[in-house]
Amino acid sequence: MDSVRTSSAPATPIPARVRVLIPLPLSDAYDYAVPEGMTLVPGDIVVVPLGPREVIGVVWDDPTDPAIAASRLRPVLEIVEAPAMTASLRRTIDWVSAYTLAPRGNVLRMALPVSDALGPPRTRVVFAATGLRPAILTDARRRVLAVLEDGFARSTTELAEEAGVSPGVIRGLADAGALAEQAAVRDRPFPDPDPDADAPVLSPAQKAAADDLVARVASDSFSAVLLEGVTGSGKTEVYFEAIATALRAGRSALVLLPEIALTAQWLDRFEARFGVRPAPWHSELPSRERRRVWRMVAEGKAPVVVGARSALFLPFVQLGVLVVDEEHDPSFKQEEGVIYNARDMAVVRARASACPVILSTATPSLETLANVESGRYGHVVLPDRHGVAEMPTVQAIDLRHDTPPRGRWLSPLLEASLRDTVENGEQALLFLNRRGYAPLTLCRTCGHRLQCPHCTAWLVEHRHSARLQCHHCGFSGPRPEKCPSCEDSNSFVACGPGVERLAEELATILPDARVAVMASDTLTGPASVAELVRQVTDHEIDILIGTQVVAKGHHFPMLTLVGVVDADLGLAGGDLRAAERTYQLLAQVSGRAGRAERAGRVLLQTYMPEHPVIHALASGDRAGFMAQEKGARLEHGMPPYGRLVALIVSSTDMAAADRYAQALARQAPRQTGINVLGPAPAPLALLRGRHRRRLLLKAGRDLPVQAIVRDWVARVPAPGTVRLQIDIDPYSFF
């Protein structure tokens, strides 16, 4: 009798409802009514009313709230024509929000594209040859028809450019019936990489490592693995095999790189291996290209993406493998907005996507090593450099004994080595992690230091642009004529070196050497990076001076000498990871030397040759150094053996910042295993005109810090004039 319906008076239909998450600073999703005739599933991108506005949102999986009366629900307005957000991305967003305590809407915002990527795919006008010969066949017309012989339709601009004719010629041909207009989708798919285009012959060690990674990809399930190998061991070639396996299985791959703007060489290698370039993703991508990448990823037409952190939130359909190259790199930590570590969230993304994640590095972080030790992550190792290349020799130069002449920064030994290198027809890299000419300008008469008006920071002189700059807020101005304090004129002196000043010194001591500076402010974009890399590769440059942007990835076969001008630079200050980071950075810089036939040499200028970091680099005893670091962290319950959460309070009103920071301290959680330090003025006590105070919560590894912190800050609501940032697992302590 189940088919019999006793229908009485027409029942008022109970409207279906859905939860919609909106990309605004909100943690909760809201209930909306589903209009009749509309069918919605989680992941659908929709337009909904919010107050007086209409906003984009995503149907979420949260249960709706039956307590909200149906009459109070506003309806979903429309479904946006775009691929629905996958469950794996939705779970990643939930997870990142729960972990970082950032509102879910803020995390969602990172996953939604510029709005014009939504909606139906748009088209553009292209022309194809009809086969009809025009009565008048000029040279220009003949060239256009020749271009089209390959069968690919092209836009007016493309045709005009390729055939070297004016747009009028194309119009004329169309009028004559020789060309026909067609509509083509505007966003071109990315070409399919060929997994077998040009696979190298792997060494036995590479083969063994690749086999492990390939098996993980083939197993179609989540796992995490550390791919550890000295600089130049060929890690890239090895993880390329994992990508090839994913591609053969029809899956996509994502590679996260630090400093995505500097990947010219990486892209070349990818192209050499797979025949085409991957889709790039980073903040400097023009919006047209952003839309194309987002859309193609969502439609499964961008098989490999290489990107910066935020690529984690692209709408991959079938991710087959995720690679984090240089996993230890601090630039994977995003410090603004949603504060998260892309290395860690890559693991979350891989788990949600049921695919492996490969963490590649020559200098694994203690966090990753702890995960290997506990068995959570697998471990494959490449112990030697590829081919005949040997690891460079590393030697410390004690600046107390081998002192540079007054007003100079290169010790006699380093100067002589540079000269020898250039005379031998080889190349050198001078590393100094300081942009500009001089980090400090002071008045010789009264000692006044030129400081940023908005930050607790000195102004850095840039001779190149003839300005003083604040590296924290972007403030810049010309050097003042007179000292603002004693009004003496021409009394300023530049103190200390930046990369520009080293270039000046080289011009004095090695006037014939061809020198170039590579720093983030001397590079205007990917094209200028590529050009500089080409100049170095083609040996048009003898000595490259660079900041940390040169440390990563580059492979210059003729580069045999690396001189680190100030190896102590990163060791000052009480940063938890100062030693580990300095070690990683200097090991990476050192790794640029001697990557081909010619042996490499590294000279580290230091005032502390006995410091464990310098000692470890010079003796090659990384294991010993890491064991010592680990011991110290264990002893003090510091990460990864304990947990930290930083609370940063800031306000333009100093008293308000202080009051709120103290209120937080009074309400601090008091339970065993928890320790709250502060408030204290941040090292950058003033940043962009805001006064900053810091509190630091230290907790045992096993405590639920997110819940503890959430309860804590909920007890002390921030006044409107004060901003509170929560930094789970802080990396910087400025």
Minimum distance, C-beta of residue 383 to ligand ADP, in the bound complex (Å)? 11
Minimum distance, C-beta of residue 169 to Zn ion, in the bound complex (Å)? 54
Residue type, 354: A
Q: Which does 443 bind (CB under 5 to 8 A by kind): ligand ADP, Zn ion, none?
A: Zn ion
Span 383-412, contacts to ligand ADP by CB under 6 A: 386
Residues 6+ apart with CB under 8 A from 365: 327, 328, 343, 580, 584
Q: Which of these, 303, 306, 324, 189, lies nearest to 246 by C-alpha position?
A: 303
The smaller minimum CB distance to ligand ADP, of residues 334 and 368, is found at 368
Q: Which range binds ligand ADP by CB under 6 A, 137-145, 157-165, 232-240, 460-468?
A: 232-240
CB 242 within 8 A of CB 206: no
Q: At what angle do helices 366-373 and 622-636 cross, to 10 degrees?
A: 90
Distance, in Å, from the CA atom of 419 to the CA atom of 422, rounded to the nearest integer, reads: 5
The smaller minimum CB distance to ligand ADP, of residues 216 and 386, is found at 386
Residues 6+ apart with CB under 8 A from 74: 32, 33, 48, 49
Q: Which does 206 bind (CB under 5 to 8 A by kind): Zn ion, ligand ADP, none?
A: ligand ADP
Minimum distance, C-beta of residue 440 to Zn ion, in the bound complex (Å)? 14
Q: Does the protein bind ligand ADP through residue 236 (CB under 6 A)?
A: yes
Q: Which of 202, 264, 515, 589 binds ligand ADP (CB under 6 A)?
A: 202
**Residue holding tokens 């991305």?**
89
Q: Does the protein bind Zn ion through residue 472 (CB under 5 A)?
A: yes
The smaller minimum CB distance to Zn ion, of residues 348 and 443, is found at 443
Q: Which does 234 bind (CB under 5 to 8 A by kind): Zn ion, ligand ADP, none?
A: ligand ADP
DSSP 463-487: TTTTEEE-TTT--EEPPPSB-TTT-
Whole-number Cα distances in Å, 576 to 290, 425, 638: 37, 42, 8
CA dihedral 424, 429, 435, 440 (to 10 degrees): -70
The smaller minimum CB distance to ligand ADP, of residues 585 and 684, is found at 585
Size of the site for ligand ADP (CB under 6 A): 15
The smaller minimum CB distance to Zn ion, of residues 518 and 687, is found at 687
Span 553-572, contacts to ligand ADP by CB under 6 A: 555
CB 320 within 8 A of CB 252: yes
Q: Which of 88, 106, 231, 353 binds ligand ADP (CB under 6 A)?
A: 231
Q: Which of these, 731, 647, 644, lies nearest to 693 by C-alpha position?
A: 647
Q: Which of 395, 485, 528, 628 binds Zn ion (CB under 5 A)?
A: 485
Strand partners, 476: 469
CB 316 within 8 A of CB 86: yes
Q: Report the helix count and the strand count for the chain, using DSSP H and E.
A: 19, 31
Q: Which two tokens stand for residue 244?
A: 């090839």
Distance, in Å, from the CA atom of 678 to the CA atom of 676, rounded to the nearest integer, reads: 7
Q: Does the protein bind ligand ADP through residue 435 (CB under 6 A)?
A: no
Q: Which does 236 bind (CB under 5 to 8 A by kind): ligand ADP, Zn ion, none?
A: ligand ADP
Give the count of beta carbons closer than 10 Å to the beta carbon of residue 10.
6
State in Å, rounded, how far the first CA of the chain is from the last one: 73
Distance, in Å, from the CA atom of 422 to the CA atom of 598, rounded to the nearest integer, reads: 14
CA angle 320, 324, 327 (to 5 degrees): 155
Q: Which of 294, 409, 431, 475 binds Zn ion (CB under 5 A)?
A: 475
Q: Which does 602 bind (CB under 5 to 8 A by kind): ligand ADP, Zn ion, none?
A: none
The smaller minimum CB distance to Zn ion, of residues 144 and 443, is found at 443
Q: Can you tell me whether residue 3 is helix, strand or coil?
A: coil
Q: Which range binds ligand ADP by CB under 6 A, 54-62, 227-235, 283-291, 688-696?
A: 227-235
Minimum distance, C-beta of residue 326 to ligand ADP, in the bound complex (Å)? 9
CA angle 353, 354, 356 (to 5 degrees): 100
Relative to beta strand 179-185, strand 340-341 is unpaired
Minimum distance, C-beta of residue 386 to ligand ADP, in the bound complex (Å)? 4
Q: Which residue is nearest to ligand ADP (CB)?
A: 234
Q: Which range binds ligand ADP by CB under 6 A, 139-147, 165-173, 194-202, 420-428?
A: 194-202
Distance, in Å, from the CA atom of 184 to the CA atom of 191, rounded to the nearest integer, reads: 16
Give the count of beta carbons closer than 10 Å to the beta carbon of residue 560.
27
The smaller minimum CB distance to Zn ion, of residues 240 and 475, is found at 475
Q: Which range binds ligand ADP by CB under 6 A, 195-203, 349-357, 394-402, 499-507?
A: 195-203
Span 537-556, contacts to ligand ADP by CB under 6 A: 555
Whole-number Cα distances in Å, 547 to 456, 492, 563, 603: 22, 25, 12, 16
CB 461 within 8 A of CB 468: yes
Minimum distance, C-beta of residue 253 to ligand ADP, in the bound complex (Å)? 16
Q: From start to end of 62-119, where are the E strands?
A: 78-79
Strand partners, 492: 443
Minimum distance, C-beta of residue 550 to ligand ADP, in the bound complex (Å)? 14
CB 608 within 8 A of CB 566: no
Q: Does the protein bind ligand ADP through residue 88 (CB under 6 A)?
A: no
The smaller minimum CB distance to ligand ADP, of residues 556 and 733, is found at 556
Minimum distance, C-beta of residue 235 to ligand ADP, in the bound complex (Å)? 4
Distance, in Å, from the CA atom of 25 to the CA atom of 424, rounded to the nearest integer, reads: 60
Minimum distance, C-beta of residue 379 to ligand ADP, in the bound complex (Å)? 15
Q: Does the protein bind ligand ADP through residue 233 (CB under 6 A)?
A: yes
Q: Which two tokens stand for residue 587?
A: 């090991």
Q: Which does 485 bind (CB under 5 to 8 A by kind): ligand ADP, Zn ion, none?
A: Zn ion
Q: Which of 15, 43, 200, 683 binds ligand ADP (CB under 6 A)?
A: 200
Minimum distance, C-beta of residue 563 to ligand ADP, in the bound complex (Å)? 20
Q: Does the protein bind ligand ADP through residue 237 (CB under 6 A)?
A: yes
- Name the DSSP letter for residue 41: -
CA angle 490, 492, 494 (to 5 degrees): 140
Minimum distance, C-beta of residue 460 to Zn ion, in the bound complex (Å)? 10
CB 146 within 8 A of CB 169: no
Span 94-123, contacts to ligand ADP by CB under 6 A: none
The smaller minimum CB distance to Zn ion, of residues 155 and 732, is found at 732
Minimum distance, C-beta of residue 227 to ligand ADP, in the bound complex (Å)? 9
Q: Which of 214, 473, 550, 617 binds Zn ion (CB under 5 A)?
A: 473
Q: Does the protein bind Zn ion through residue 483 (CB under 5 A)?
A: yes
Q: Which range binds ligand ADP by CB under 6 A, 209-217, 229-237, 284-292, 611-619?
A: 229-237
Q: Which of these, 393, 391, 414, lies nearest to 402 by C-alpha position?
A: 414
Q: Does the protein bind ligand ADP through residue 234 (CB under 6 A)?
A: yes
State the binding string over 432-451 for Zn ion (x if CB under 5 A, else -).
Answer: -----------x-xx-x---
Q: At what angle do helices 204-218 and 235-248 cross, to 10 degrees?
A: 30
Relative to beta strand 123-129, strand 179-185 is antiparallel
Distance, in Å, from the CA atom of 629 to the CA atom of 18, rounded to the nearest integer, reads: 51
Q: Which of 256, 455, 596, 657 binds Zn ion (CB under 5 A)?
A: 455
Minimum distance, C-beta of residue 203 to ligand ADP, in the bound complex (Å)? 6
Q: Does the protein bind ligand ADP through residue 206 (CB under 6 A)?
A: yes
Q: Which of these, 581, 600, 582, lies nearest to 590 by C-alpha position?
A: 600
Minimum distance, C-beta of residue 686 to Zn ion, in the bound complex (Å)? 8
Span 639-668, contacts to ligand ADP by CB under 6 A: none
Instruction: By CB under 6 A, name the binding residues for ligand ADP.
Output: 200-203, 206, 229, 231-237, 386, 555
Point out which residues bind Zn ion (CB under 5 A).
443, 445-446, 448, 452, 454-455, 470, 472-473, 475, 483, 485-486
